[in-house]
Structure 1
Amino acid sequence: MRHKRSTPNRGYRVADQIQRDLAELLRDLKDPRIGMVTLNNVEVTPDYAHAKVFFSVLIGNPQECEAALNEAAGFLRNGLFKRLQIHTVPTLHFHFDKTTERAAELSALIVQANATRAKDD
């Protein structure tokens, strides 16, 4: 018996679907520590056992939010089971994504440097 060849980019499509479904499921969470959360990216392991979910927070404490999301991971995974048509629904691991925060810091530094240069000219 030949093994069925895996569909190209399936991992990316599954990760994308998980990201969309999680965004909807997050609205149902009542935990006050979870503020305005944006899911930036989902990375799924090749065996679909684990998924890293990267998020940023508009309002709220990132560490508290990360702890609350990881506590709710089982509930969210259960919600994904009902929505996804895949054999293995990954265990979710939430990580605060510092990219947006870092981008804002760099942008402020650039503005500051340009202002200093304009003063010197």
Structure 2
Amino acid sequence: MRKNSIKNTRINGEVQRELSNIIRGEIKDPRINPLTSVVAVEVAPDLKTCKAYISVLGDEESQKNTLTGLRSAEGYIRRELARTINLRNTPEIRFILDQSIEYGVNMSKLIDNVNKESAAKADVSLESADLAEGGDNE
């Protein structure tokens, strides 16, 4: 089975959906932030391992605590995954913190700041040009 085959893509989507449901509704660990989402899942073609990319809305401490809580609940999560998804092998899950959303927000803020600065410079240059033209007309 190729890595990006249709079957593997379907399995990735199904595992992602079930992982989201398990993390959101069934785990009662107080370390896990309620605003935790599963961004992407990559199940290996042999169905032995799985990388789950998660995003946590909160500070660094909250992200660390959530990862610790998820890693301690790995056995339970894997068992629930085996119960809900009928696969030959239930993959061993590795949780990886995904920083892409936070990175995107920071880049967006930087772009907005640059746009504001360039707009302010353009306004200043227009005002100085208007003053220079006004001085010639008098």
**Both proteins in one fold, TM over 0.5:** yes
Matched, 1:98 2:78: no
Residue 68 of structure 1 is matched in structure 2 by: 69
Q: Which of residues 11, 16, 26 in structure 1 aligns to 2:13?
A: 16
Matched, 1:114 2:115: yes
Q: Structure 1: which 5+ runs fail to align?
A: none
Q: Distance in 2 between matches of 1:71 and 1:9?
A: 32
The residue type equivalent to 2:110 in the other structure is L
Residue 56 of structure 1 is matched in structure 2 by: 55
Q: Distance in 2 between matches of 1:118 and 1:64?
A: 42
Q: Secondary structure at the match of 2:30?
A: coil
Q: Distance in 2 between matches of 1:59 and 1:34?
A: 11
Q: Structure 2: which 5+ runs fail to align?
A: 123-138
Q: Which one has the bigger helix percentage?
A: 2
Query: Displacement of 1:85 after TM fit?
Result: 1.2
Query: Displacement of 1:56 after TM fit?
Result: 0.6
Q: TM-score, normalised by structure 2?
A: 0.79
The residue type equivalent to 1:40 in the other structure is V
Query: Displacement of 1:58 after TM fit?
Result: 2.0
Aligned residues between the structures: 116
Query: Displacement of 1:42 after TM fit?
Result: 0.2
**Displaced runs of 4 or more, over 6 A:** none
Percent of residue pairs bearing the same amino acid type? 28
**Bigger CA radius of gyration:** 2
